[in-house]
Amino acid sequence: MKRLLFAAIIVCGIFFCQSSKAQNFDDYFVNKTLRLDYIFGGDVKQQSIFLDELKTEPHWYGKKQKLAEIPVEGNGQITVKDKKTGTVIYRNSFSTLFQEWLSYDEAKATKRSFENVFLVPFPKDTVSITVDLRNNRREIISSYTHIVAPKDILIHSIGEHNVTPYITLQAAADSNRCIHIAYLSEGYKKDEMQTFENDARTAMEALFEHEPFKSMRSKFNIVAVEAPSIESGTSEPSKGIWKNTALHSHFDTFYSDRYLTTLNLKDMHDILAGTPYEHIIVLVNTEKYGGGGILNSYNLSMTHNKWFKPVVVHEFGHSFAGLGDEYAYESEQIPMYPHDIEPWEPNLTTLKDFHGKWENLISKGTPIPTPESKKEKTQYTRIGVFEGAGYSMKGVYRGVQRCRMRDNTTPEFCPVCIQAIKRLIDFYTE
């Protein structure tokens, strides 16, 4: 959002299950990916979801267990059901730029459309797929269901030939139970790929300097995908600078100077087709400060700024782990989180339904809410419930006084965020 320090759209929650019976991957799916391209469009009054195109890629790099469970609720979900039985056989959650745009004044007078791409395992038999969008009160505002027959001749096969070159930066200990990350180049010309590889390695090592990624490093498979751009850098519309790059990324998203995104999700996934990827980190060849993170879609960060390492890690906290921003604004209160609704983020609370978050980490006798100590302003280990988070000084709470999700200078994720990240890694890999 244009008023946020890191301009990240993240709406997530704690673990929950919507199916009492575990699904066996081999009963319903083959080892391929079904790529679903949608167009989300409309305005603040009415939103629509349209199917754009179906594609298939060779291999599935997502979860193969807990298929009908989702670890974070998200502000949107995709659900795959076996058509014959109605059984939920796969589910995932996401966030979108479209839903963020709906919060701006432009959406009151203008209709716009946005590309969105989702990956699901390729079904053996006919399935129904439902996509729904939700608001910040966790209410469904738009839903669309369609049928996919796996033998449909119009499902386009990609990723088998002319695969974008990539380098394996780290191989997971168990490739069947791991988390696949792809660093993707943006704004690097063909003769700048060594610089991109160096930047990708810097980003990777920055991530693994933080717990729990450090101690769970062997559970990640990481590649650097070398997509050359015609021009170096990225576009800066406020300066009249438009660059011809692989993803056509740009600053000034929604007129926010530091909000760096790409709207070209189909191009992004076309470039990645055939590479081992699930989570995407786009590295942008620019010195200008900025970035953004979208849950289970991508995160994007500048690389040649002094804050590169903390920002790329912070954004991954958003896009991978569903962590919310823990800072607040004194001058402007942003009502992203209704105070009568519990946030989905595992590191934020309004105290409306605190159970299952971080109460297990709070020492007995700690007052809730917890008063801040001026003597402990640098503290990121004392755990309580501190007011001032989620862009609001009042009514939204965080677990510690400082954390990587609060400011760039804090060297670590706090114990609350570490617990949430570890739970997520365990969900995908155990």
Sequence-ordered list of residues with C-beta below 8 angstroms from that of 294, at least 6 positions apart, any chain:
8, 9, 10, 94, 95, 96, 97, 261, 318, 319
**Position 7 pLDDT exceeds 50:** no
pLDDT digit string (tens) for 385-395? Answer: 999 999 999 99
Domain ranges of the chain: 16-157
Q: What average pLDDT does range 147-154 have in this prediction?
A: 98
Q: What average pLDDT does range 259-279 have in this prediction?
A: 97
Is 95 within 8 Å of 297 (Cβ atoms)? Answer: yes
- Mean of the per-residue pLDDT values of the chain: 92
pLDDT digit string (tens) for 161-208? Answer: 999 999 999 999 999 999 999 999 999 999 999 999 999 999 999 999
Pick the CATH number of 16-157 from 3.60.10.10, 1.10.20.10, 3.40.350.10, 2.60.40.3250: 2.60.40.3250
Confidence band for 336, pLDDT divided at 50, 70 and 90: confident
Q: What is the pLDDT of residue 3?
A: 37
pLDDT digit string (tens) for 222-255? Answer: 999 999 999 999 999 999 999 999 999 999 999 9
State how far the Cα of 418 lies from the Cα of 430, in Å rounded to an integer. 17
Q: What is the pLDDT of residue 333?
A: 65
Token code pair at residue 244: 């011809």
pLDDT digit string (tens) for 29-80? Answer: 999 999 999 999 999 999 999 999 999 999 999 999 999 999 999 999 999 9
pLDDT digit string (tens) for 345-368? Answer: 999 999 999 999 999 999 999 999
Q: What is the pLDDT of residue 372?
A: 86
Residues across the chain: 430
DSSP alpha helix (H) spans, 164-280: 193-207, 265-272
